[in-house]
Amino acid sequence: MPTRYQLIAEGSAAGLLFLLSPLAGYFLGKWVGQGLGLGMVPAYVGGALGLVAAFLNLMRLVERASR
């Protein structure tokens, strides 16, 4: 069972991941799109995948905290 301080640390990390994951996905997708000549589509897909990853991480955190 995680301690109170571990949950606080993981919650703080989850907040950062909600900001950083979609941004990283967007900029990586933008770079790939420019390199392959696909326009902005990979940037939007990367941002969406980053957002999905952030939500999955949040679900894991909630599951771990509820034990």
Q: How far apart are CA 8 and CA 51, in angstroms?
A: 21
Task: Tell me the average pLDDT of the chain.
Answer: 89
The total number of structural domains in the chain stands at 1
| Domain limits for position 28 | 4-65
Taking residues 47-64, report their average pLDDT.
Answer: 90
In the predicted model, is pLDDT for residue 62 greater than 70? Answer: yes
Which pTM does this prediction carry? Answer: 0.79
The number of beta carbons lying within 10 Å of the beta carbon of residue 13 is 13
The number of beta carbons lying within 10 Å of the beta carbon of residue 37 is 6
